[in-house]
Amino acid sequence: MTTKKIVLITGANKGIGLATATALAEDGHTVLLGARDPERGRTAAAGLTDQGMDARFVHLDVTDPATITSAAELIEADHGRLDVLVNNAAITRDRLRPPSEVPVAAVREVYETNVFGVIAVTNAMLSLLRRSESGYIGNVSSGLGTFAFLSDPAEVLTQYATLLGYNSSKAALNAITLIYADALRDSGIRVNALSPGFCATDLNGHAGVLTATEGGVHIARQISAPETGVFLNENGGTYPW
């Protein structure tokens, strides 16, 4: 991206979300750090502004319609548009338990954030994205949710193949990505699934092979991709669905 963009990132107070915000702010873009915890969100944003970057905390809990509406109203009042939405917020409740031992309530909680939260935020931000000269929606996904992986898991990741809530929620997110990409194709808004790679974060007990910083750099690079309706690979190219 060569022109300054207005970018909203959900779940941006730590991990890959904050790393993505940092990478984009370093490139000169205006970054809005969506976070459900105001104290953590303000602290994260202050860490960037103290370095001279254009960043701001936006109170946004993807499971709370009131904060989603307020965030959209704030962005409209302050910027009049949104160029990039990165749906990054995600949780897991599987803890490497077999699927038969994962309570339905836990799976439902995962879907509230990883699936329904993405739909709610996307729909709330669409009118702002339509005002952009080149709107972009990036859904941070995982190769663990691809049917290519689930039907034939790589040996090194076999222990993660049965994560009922997380993997199925990312499979749903991939489908959502394709549906929105098709629906918005004529509007010029591109929609892709993004992969940060297997990063060490709180989500996986810091078991990943990449740092969150590396993952954020990958995501920041992918939002300039010209394609729409694809799952972008952190190493270049695309993943099979």
| Residue 239 bears catalytic tag | no
User: How many whole angstroms separate alpha carbon 85 and alpha carbon 121?
Assistant: 9
Sign of CA dihedral 79, 22, 2, 222: negative
136, 160, 170, 239: which one is catalytic?
170
Residue of 44, 89, 86, 96 whose CA lies nearest to 207: 96
Catalytic residue among 136, 166, 180, 239: 166
Beta-bridged to residue 30, according to DSSP, are 6
Active site residue 170: yes
DSSP-assigned letters across all residues of 18-44:
HHHHHHHHHTT-EEEEEESSHHHHHHH
Q: CA 149 to CA 157: how far, in whole Å? A: 9
Q: What is the DSSP letter of 156?
A: G
Q: Which residues are catalytic?
A: 166, 170
